[in-house]
Amino acid sequence: TTGKSIFCKAAVAWEAGKELSIEDIEVLPPRAHEVRIKIYYTGVCHTDAYTLSGVDPEGAFPVVLGHEGAGIVESVGEGVTNVKPGDHVIALYTAECRECKFCKSGKTNLCGSVRATQGLGLMPDGTSRFKCKGQDLLHFMGCSTFSQYTVVADVSVVAVNPAAGMDKTCLLGCGITTGYGAATITADIKPGENVAIFGAGCVGLSVVQGAVEKKAGKIIVVDINNKKKDWSFKFGATDFVNPLELPKDTAIVDKLIEMTDGGCDFTFDCTGNVKVMRNALEACHKGWGTSIIIGVAAAGQEISTRPFQLVTGRNWRGCAFGGVKGRTQLPGLVEDYMAGKIKVEDFITHRYPLEKITTAFNDMHAGDCIRAVINM
Ligand code: NAD
Ligand code: AHE
Ligand code: ZN
């Protein structure tokens, strides 16, 4: 294409474990089947901190992190038909090409089209569109929303209703959709079913929201931070349990089994802690209970349980992006938000300009932040 580079600001992660630094970067024009987006707002998800910390097996540096962003299409490369300049869009870390084996299976929202290069921090042609101080910067999760301009594959972006505030819709790019989708699509909770949610961050509280929508019976939130009790009830939880107030680590399993007359129909791990994942599985009802792993664990971590837990009918599953197909289903979620059917504003506890993005990371670790939204 004939497009020109754009020079703008971005928060760059130069190396693992170091603070992000605001830099002037060059964003190259989109090539064939690519889209350049002016990012207006981005959320900060726990996964951004996870990768920055250095424990993500796929983490590579220097990189432009961020994967929960909303913006407006600035220009498109050759062959792009699904969006056009001026469209209000959300970046998708789970692409949807509609042509690969995954997309055509009807069984999953995972898409194989760009996942291999995405995992390497590169565009599908194996190169980067970011430059800074004479070197290439890597992309992240196919999004890189911590930049005022980014370039993504056309399969990794969806246009949504422009009347929706981008400072809200950015959160549908990960946290809210992930939890809400896990409850409503992946688990597809039936009325009266009892559920337990481990971890009441944006993801866990969004599972609560989805469970309420699906008319679950008991909606029990488990969190080690008592400040999450009020938050849980605000989103519709029926019970809150702090496992640290129980006699021992695994007592939470007995407690949940007792509260639900034999175990939960569904449990959700929204912590990323593999010990919690085990408790979540073992708190499921014998014969049919299903535990869904959403949390992301550090390199080297593994889950375990006695095989007997599965022999006796418990199921262990997981999902990415809640099982939501981004291009097909996200516009509808934005409409649901506009119609007042799903809460989005309620998750936003902090707002910062790009220069203060490190404060947003610190807030997340401090535990009184559900979501910080960065105004780019
Ligand atoms: P968050 O940090 O805001 O929330 C985590 C919550 O878990 C906190 O309230 C914390 O107090 C609680 N917690 C920590 N240890 C606990 C324990 N031992 N028992 C009970 N509760 C505990 O994080 P978030 O942004 O809501 O993300 C949650 C997890 O989901 C992270 O691991 C994140 O990387 C992952 N994630 C996965 C997907 C996906 O598609 N699979 C999408 C988004 C986020
Ligand atoms: N890269 C890590 C795993 C990270 C991971 O599991 N990411 C989730 C999304 S977290 C969003 O906040 C995910 O969607 N995974 C599926 C995928 O295709 O990336 C690792 O362990 O290598
Ligand atoms: Zn995320």
Ligand found nearest the CA of 66: 3
Extended beta strands in 77-148, E state: 88-91, 130-132, 135-137
Whether residue 169 is found in the same domain as residue 37: yes
pLDDT tens digit at each of 376 positions of the chain: 469 999 999 999 999 999 999 999 999 999 999 999 999 999 999 999 999 999 999 999 999 999 999 999 999 999 999 999 999 999 999 999 999 999 999 999 999 999 999 999 999 999 999 999 999 999 999 999 999 999 999 999 999 999 999 999 999 999 999 999 999 999 999 999 999 999 999 999 999 999 999 999 999 999 999 999 999 999 999 999 999 999 887 799 999 999 999 999 999 999 999 999 999 999 999 999 999 999 999 999 999 999 999 999 999 999 999 999 999 999 999 999 999 999 999 999 999 999 999 999 999 988 889 999 999 9
CA distance 335 to 342: 9
Mutate to test the pocket of ligand 1, among 53, 223, 301, 370 (most ligand atoms within 8 A of CB): 223
Q: Does residue 244 sit within a domain?
A: yes
Tell whether ligand 2 has an atom less than 6 A from the beta carbon of residue 57: yes
Sign of the four-CA dihedral 288, 289, 293, 298? negative
Q: Is residue 305 part of a domain?
A: yes
Angle at 97 between CA 125 and CA 184, to 5 degrees: 135
The rounded distance, in Å, linking the Cα atoms of 114 and 118 is 6
Q: Which atom number of ligand 1 is nearest to the Cα of residue 294? A: 41
The residue range of the domain holding 243 is: 178-319
Out of 285, 303, 319, a domain closes at 319
Residues 156 and 184 in one domain: no
**Is the whole model's pTM more than 0.95, yes or no?**
yes
Please give the tally of structural domains in the chain. 2
Domain shared by 166 and 110, yes or no: yes
Select from 118, 205, 294 the residue to mutate for testing ligand 1; criterion: most ligand atoms less than 8 Å from CB. 294
